[in-house]
Amino acid sequence: MRRAFIGAALLIAGIAAFIEAHSHPPELESRCRGGGEVCPLEDFIHVHVGLSQTAYDLLRIGAWALMIVGGLLVITGLIRYWALVRGAKQ
């Protein structure tokens, strides 16, 4: 039964990682160099906002890995528990 609980914790961690990745996607944002509200076109600069593309990709890959391993642990834990309960009834 411990496997199923550990798997459930990994599934929750994978979901949290997906939420975190979705909250900080890599983007370019246009900002005024002078910081004022009225800005001539030539003073606009592009600034990277959020995670870098590599960090974003690694976070999503890690989230998928947590989800897959967690799901497998839940399934194998429940199968093992079912076999244990079934063997106890006979």
Dihedral sign from CA coordinates of 74, 76, 78, 80: negative
- Domain range annotation of the chain: 2-24+52-89
Provide long-range contacts, Cβ within 8 A and 24+ apart, for 69-72. Answer: 69/7, 69/10, 70/6, 70/7, 70/8, 70/9, 70/10, 70/11, 70/12, 70/13, 70/14, 71/7, 71/11, 72/7
Residue 27: the pLDDT is: 82
Q: What is the pLDDT of residues 61-73, one digit of tens each?
A: 999 999 999 999 9
Instruction: Write out the two tokens for 69.
Output: 């391993």
Residue 9: the pLDDT is: 97
Is residue 70 within 8 Å of residue 13, measured between CB atoms?
A: yes
